[in-house]
Amino acid sequence: MKSDSFIFSKRSSLSHQTAWIAPSNIALVKYWGKHGLQLPKNPSISFTLSNCVTTTAVSFSPNQKKEEPTFEFYFDKMEAPDFHPKIDQFLARIVPYFPALQEHHLKISSHNSFPHSSGIASSASAMAALALCIVDLERQLHPELSEEDFFKKASFLARLGSGSAARSLKGPLTLWGKTSAFSDSSDLYAIPVEAHVHSDFKNYCDTILIVDKGQKKVSSSKGHQLMLGHPYADKRFEQANRHCVALKSVLENGDLEQFIEITESEALSLHAMMMTSSPRYLLMQPNTLQIINKIWDYRVTTNIPLSFTLDAGANVHLLYPAVERDKVIEFIKSELIGYCQSGQFIEDQVGLGAKKM
Ligand code: PMV
């Protein structure tokens, strides 16, 4: 499929109201490095979460100017001009793929289920929820749009807002980026990974230990840029490709040892890329390392398949099968909570994807 096949020609302005809930996601194989208009340098695979979500309602009305979409944005019911540049950029990028949007004014109201200052990135769930509302408007003009094409287009648009947002629509797992492992994979949008996923992974737990509530030290767009000309970039992209192929088998056969091997290696490789780029960044904090060492000790002494992954920040995502939940929560409360800022952690688990309200 080419980008052009996402353009439908019908132009008209409508009044329409809709609201969608879109989940956050946590990458198991990381996307780090992009080219062109938000195209990934390597494929990535993520767990779709269920509790960390963004709810967005959009009320569309005809816009008299008809030159560009206009909008107002409310976050937690308050006008939030800080978000305007990101939304402006997103709308400008998607208009070529939905020209009728120019004839609309959008009143956007958004809310996150997780605390704003928790260090958890909300761009994936936020862009996915907004993209879904916009394709919902487009479906009013094109009722022939199939369910599958609806989500494909929403993922395509979400990608233009934030790459990882392409993966925040379907569950329990999604894949974004062309890989030999999945014949229908694409750099333009994410696809659900659902066939033959081992039951252990359908309700896998992700407990997020909040080590640092602050803003990211380096934005992900800056981070992606640092991969251009990075001395280890080619090897890193090769590794991610290999990991996608290997993870596909692991997701089918439920081999938790291999799951841990791949996902922890991915997390540390992402951070290693940041440590060896120019300029270089240390995104972990002392408490991140303390937690990782504790997890490794715990795994050896208990044989419980608890592992971790990291985003481009200091927080630690603990990954484990749902049957181990009670024991892991006890471990967190007795041994890890002291490393969390204000003792904060967020319990989540794999979910089924976005929902219309
Ligand atoms: O979607 P972006 O541009 O914020 O990039 C996300 C990058 C990571 O979260 C670090 C990895 C990933 O694949 O989600």
| Structural domains present in the chain | 3-195 (3.30.230.10), 204-349 (3.30.70.890)
The CA 163 to ligand 1 mean position distance, Å, reads: 7
pLDDT tens column, 149-203: 999 999 999 999 999 999 999 999 999 999 999 999 999 999 999 878 999 999 9
Residue 312 Cβ contacting ligand 1 at under 6 Å: yes
Whole-number pLDDT of residue 148: 95
10 pLDDT tier (thresholds 50, 70, 90): low
The CA 196 to ligand 1 mean position distance, Å, reads: 26
Whole-number pLDDT of residue 249: 96
Choosing from 28, 29, 32 the residue with most ligand 1 atoms within 8 A of its CB, the one to mutate for a pocket test is 32
Residue 185 Cβ contacting ligand 1 at under 6 Å: no
Residue 44 Cβ contacting ligand 1 at under 6 Å: yes
The CA 235 to ligand 1 mean position distance, Å, reads: 19
The CA 100 to ligand 1 mean position distance, Å, reads: 30
d(CA 189, CA 110): 23
The CA 224 to ligand 1 mean position distance, Å, reads: 9
State the alpha helices, DSSP H only, in 1-145. 84-94, 123-141
Closest atom, ligand 1, to C-alpha of 29 = 13
Can you tell me the mean pLDDT for 205-226? Answer: 91
Closest atom, ligand 1, to C-alpha of 31 = 13
Residue 60 Cβ contacting ligand 1 at under 6 Å: no
Residue 163 Cβ contacting ligand 1 at under 6 Å: yes
- Residue with token string 């030159």: 67
pLDDT tens column, 235-293: 999 999 999 999 999 999 999 999 999 999 999 999 999 999 999 999 999 999 999 99
% of residues, the chain, pLDDT over 70:
99
4, 245, 319, 353 alpha-carbon torsion, rounded to 10°? 30
Can you tell me the mean pLDDT for 6-23? Answer: 86
The CA 59 to ligand 1 mean position distance, Å, reads: 29
Whole-number pLDDT of residue 196: 86
The CA 310 to ligand 1 mean position distance, Å, reads: 11
- Residue with token string 């800080």: 82
d(CA 170, CA 151): 8
Q: Which residues, 6 or more positions from 9, have their beta carbon under 8 angstroms from its beta carbon?
A: 99
Would you say residue 37 has pLDDT above 80? yes
Q: Which residues, 6 or more positions from 4, have their beta carbon under 8 angstroms from its beta carbon?
A: none
Whole-number pLDDT of residue 69: 94
Query: From the CB of residue 185, how many other CB atoms can be counted at a distance below 10 Å?
Result: 19
For 322, the token pair is 């749902």
pTM of this structure: 0.96
